[in-house]
Every structure is written in C-alpha cells, then in structure tokens.
Structure 1
Amino acid sequence: MSKRGWLLFLGMGVIWGVPYAMIRVAVRDFDPVFVAFGRTLLGALVLAPFALYSKVLWPVLRQWRWVLVYTLVEITGPWLLIGHAETRLTSSTVGLLIAAVPLIAIVITTRLGHERLDMRRALGLVIGFAGVTALVGLDIDVSNLGALAAIGVSVIGYALGPIIIDRKLADLPPIGVVTASLAIAAALYLPFALWRVPDRFPAGASWSVVGLGLLCTALAFVVFFALIGEVGPSRATVITYINPAVALLIGVSLLNEPLTAGMAIGFPLVIAGSILGTARAKDRPEVVAARA
C-alpha cells in the first residue's frame, strides 16, 4: 500500500471510530432524535453541492424505493437507536457490539444463498458470537436490555445495508446514494426533532453534533471514496476491524469509561471471529455501511 493509502486507511479508522464517543457526549444534553437529525442534515448539506455538480442525484431518485429501504435500515433506524442505547451504555461497549456486524452479515448472506458457510466461516461465527456473549454477559445488566435490543436491531440494519447496495443499487453513483439517503433521513427525523429542540445548547454536545455531521459523515465518505480508489473496495473495508479499537481507546482514555473484563475478553474474540468469517469473502460494494 502506498503512503497515501496508509494515511487514508488510518484516517478512516479514526474517523469511523470516534462517532460513538461523540454520540455519548451529545445525548447527555440532547434527545437522540435531535442528534441524529443534526448529523444527517449537516452531512446532506455538505455533500449536496458535490452531488448536484456531478449530476448524480437524478439516477438515484429514479430508484427511490430501494434508496428509501436502504436509508431506513442503514441510517434512520441505527443512528436513532444507537443514540438511545448510548444513554444507558458506554460508548466503548456500543462500539465493540457494533463490531459484530460482519458476523451478522455472514449469517444473512448465507441464508439468502449468496455465500457458502464453510468450516472456516463457521469457526469464525462461533468465536465471534462467543465474544459478543462475553461482552453482554459480563458488562450489561438486566436493566439495560432495551439498550441491548436497540444495538441488536442496529447491527442487523448495518448488515443489511451493504446487501441492499450490492443487490439493488450497485449501478448507482455512491455519492448520490449517500447524499440522497442523508437527505431522506433528515426529512424523516425532522417532525420528531422539532418536538425535541433543546432549551439550551451546551458547547460539548453542540460540537459533538457538528463533528458527527461534518467529520464522521460528510468527510468520512469523501475519504472513504478516496481510499477505495487507492486500494480497492475489498482492502478498504478492513477498517471495520480498526474502528472498535479506536472507540475503545477513546472511551477509556477521554471519557473515563471503565475497561471491563467483558471488553478484555470479548473484543479480541469478536475481531478474530470477524476476520476468520470474512477473510475470503468477495469484494464488498463501494458504498458500505454508514457506520455510527
């Protein structure tokens, strides 16, 4: 990999590893639906000029039904549910649980007949889900089962998103799909966000929303497209294994979140299982899950 490729790779690992900490800070003062609305609105406003200049929105809008489905499972649902979950769970725990997305994707694609479940992948699933079990069993008490369910639904949505892109939207311009999806998500959030406009805007929460919209959404996709152009779609998706480590490091070091036994045991198991389960999978589509 070239020096530029490594810089893009490391940049993406950080950019998609910090959202969990930002969400955690933002939902301390803002309602999760307002956080999700602010993020999608800012992201859409930044990317819209590029999409309009490139004239890539019209082909996307002609496939609006599948774009809407993709938006619901990949952005609207997960970003709201993750925000709600982070009112109860630490950002580190959420980031590590989201790392199970590749495992769920293996299960779904195997059930649909798109992939074959060989012994290596089966072993990866067993190891990965053992890691999730360690995280859940050691770190999450019964009072947080609602938050755990929210993360579970989000993980399924994140796993379904790339499959929809691959099967239904692969011939569309990536930046057009992302821009349209963010705009649709912002429109869906709007009526609920209006009812939950904060009475005050603390600096920490406000800057976190701005960071989510500009850094973790708009800039993230621009950098990711550049990374794909440099190293290809398959190698670019290896950032999936770096994001949880970044989320854990930030949560523990900056937000003073505890480093628990569940994290110490579950994290390496989830990552090892994901790597085993996806190592020889075919190239992912150029638009991948819009991670938290």
Structure 2
Amino acid sequence: MNRRAWLLFLLVAVLWGIPYFLIKLAIDDLSPVFVVAGRGLIAALVLLPVAAVRGTLGALRARLGVVSVLAVVHIIGPFLLITYGEQHITSSLTGLLIAVEPVVIALLMSGTEPLTRVRTIGLVLGFAGVAVLVGLDVSGDRLGLLGAGMVLLAAVSYAVATMLVQRRAADVPPETLAGGTTAITAIVLAPFAIMTWPTEPVHAKAWTSLALLGVLCTAVALLAFYRLIALAGSTRAGLVTYLNPVVAVFLGVIFLNEPLRWSTGAGFALVIAGCWLSTRPVPSRAAEPETEAAVPAVAH
C-alpha cells in the first residue's frame, strides 16, 4: 500500500475503534435508542449533501428496497444491540467481541468458499477466543452475558450486511448507500427517540460524544473506508478490523478505568489468530486471475 492508503487505514482504525468509548459516555445521559437515532441523523446530514453534490442521489430511488434492508441489518440492528449491550459490559470487551466478525463472515461464506483445514482451525480459534473473553470476563454475571450476547449478535448482523452489499448493492455509490441507510435509520427511530427524550439535564460530554459518533465514526469513517478499498483493495482494507479493538481497549482502560485482565489479552490473541487464519484466501486450482468482490464498510 502507498502512503495515502496507510494514512487512510490508520484513520479508519481509529475512527472505528473509538465508538465504543463514545457510546459509553453518551449513554450516561441519553437512552440507547436516542443515541442511535441521533448518530444516524447526524451522519445522514453529512452524507446526503455529499451525494447530492456528486449527483448520485438518484441511485436511491432505484435501489430503495435493498437500501432499506441494509439499514436494518447494517445500522439499526447492530447499533442498537451494541449500544444496549454496553449498558452491561465494558467498552473494551465490546470492541474485542466485534473483532470476531471476519470469523462469522468466513463461516457464512463456507458454501461458496471451501473450509480448508487452515480456515477450520481459524474458526475454532476465533470462537475459542470469544469463549475466553465471555467466560472469564463476565462469568456468573447474567446481565454481562446478555450484553456480550447482544454484541456478538451485532457482529453476526454486520457479517450478513457485508455479504448483502457484496451481492446486491455493490453498484450503489458509497456516499449514497451510507447516506440512505443512515437517513432511514433516523426516520425509523425518530418516534422512539422522541419518546425517550431526556428529561434530566444532559452533560456536555454526552452531546459531544453523540456528535462525534455521527460525524466522525459514521459519516467520515464510511467515506474513508470506501476510498481505502479503492486504493488498497478489499482484502487489505478489511484488515482494519484487527486494529479496532486495540484502540477500544486502550481508550477504555485509560479514560474509563476499565480493568485489563490476562483473559483480555489471551482472548484477543485467539480472536485475531482465528480471524487471520479463517480469512486467508483459498488457493485457486485454476490458473485464472483473482478478482476481489467489494467489501462494504461496517459502521461501528
């Protein structure tokens, strides 16, 4: 990768590593559904004008069906699951559990990409890492197990969304796709956000966190990731998933005083090893040039 690609890679890694920290700050004063609706609205207000300037908004009308489905499985579902889940587990553990997403994708794609011995070992290691993280970090805590389960379900939802974009929406311009899904998120959740409008004073840190989630962690991160794919290819761009948890753990430990246990390091190592092995390309028997399907941005 060239210098510009590396800079984009690091930018996306940071922008998708800090949402868990910001969510933790926002839900101190705001309801989870309010946070998700606000994040979607802010991102849409940034992305839709970009799409309008580029003249790509018309693509939404023709692909409204698939964009609506993506809004549910790519943003509404996982955003709510993660935000509610963080009421019961640390932001560090949340970031680590989301890192299992490449393992889930490899498992879901096993029908079209054969499960070699190496990939199977990777899947086993990845799920073993999750077992270590969940079993030791929230052992005996029912609410903790519930929160971890929500985050893992969000990772599955992200994986399904990835496959859906690859197969159904790869031709939709990124700013239009991201703008459409975030706008639909805001519209769908607006009534629930109004119902949970804060009645107590909201601290500035909560509003600031929400603004950063919308502008940086959603709108800017999505556009940067799509540009990274164009410069470096989807395989290299997808490796950003491995670096996000490092940022999440660092912020949680330093600024939120979250515990750093030995199980955190052990589980993270297993998850990363599993992700790396399970996502290794399968050697082609035919001497044909390899082609890469576009991998969409996964909004954290």
- Give the aligned CA root-mean-square deviation in angstroms: 1.4
Partner of 1:114: 112
Query: Does 2:55 align with 1:55?
Result: yes
Give matches, 1:258-277, under 5 Å: 258-277=259-278
Partner of 1:132: 130
How much has 1:7 moved relative to structure 2? Answer: 1.4
Cα displacement string for residues 131-187 of structure 1 (whole angstroms, at most 9, x for unaligned residues):
000001001122323212211221110110110001111122121111100000111
- Please give the secondary structure, in 2, of the residue aligned with 1:230: helix
Alpha-carbon distance in structure 2 between the residues aligned to 1:286 and 1:85: 26
- 8 A contact 1:138–1:261 mirrored in 2: no
Alpha-carbon distance in structure 2 between the residues aligned to 1:56 and 1:177: 10
Query: Does 2:288 align with 1:285?
Result: no
- Please give the secondary structure, in 2, of the residue aligned with 1:52: helix
Partner of 1:80: 80
- The residue type paired with residue 117 of structure 1 is L
How much has 1:284 moved relative to structure 2? Answer: 4.8
Runs of 5+ consecutive residues of structure 1 not aligned to the other structure:
none
- 8 A contact 2:20–2:248 mirrored in 1: yes
Give matches, 1:224-235, under 5 Å: 224-235=225-236
- The residue type paired with residue 121 of structure 2 is L
Alpha-carbon distance in structure 2 between the residues aligned to 1:284 and 1:196: 41
- The residue type paired with residue 102 of structure 1 is P
Query: Does 2:55 align with 1:46?
Result: no
Alpha-carbon distance in structure 2 between the residues aligned to 1:49 and 1:239: 27
TM normalised by structure 2 equals: 0.93
Partner of 2:212: 211
Partner of 2:251: 250
- 8 A contact 1:21–1:91 mirrored in 2: yes
Alpha-carbon distance in structure 1 between the residues aligned to 2:73 and 2:121: 28
- 8 A contact 2:97–2:148 mirrored in 1: no
Partner of 2:66: 66
- 8 A contact 1:26–1:208 mirrored in 2: yes
- 8 A contact 1:46–1:214 mirrored in 2: yes
Runs of 5+ consecutive residues of structure 2 not aligned to the other structure:
283-290
How much has 1:278 moved relative to structure 2? Answer: 0.5
- Please give the secondary structure, in 1, of the residue aligned with 2:249: helix
Alpha-carbon distance in structure 2 between the residues aligned to 1:284 and 1:15: 24
TM normalised by structure 1 equals: 0.95
Partner of 2:285: none
- 8 A contact 1:21–1:251 mirrored in 2: yes
User: Structure 1 residues 286 and 119 mapped into 2: Cα distance closer, same or farther (>3 Å)?
Assistant: closer
Alpha-carbon distance in structure 2 between the residues aligned to 1:153 and 1:228: 26
Quick one: percent identity of the two aligned structures? 42
- The residue type paired with residue 296 of structure 2 is V
User: Structure 1 residues 278 and 191 mapped into 2: Cα distance closer, same or farther (>3 Å)?
Assistant: same
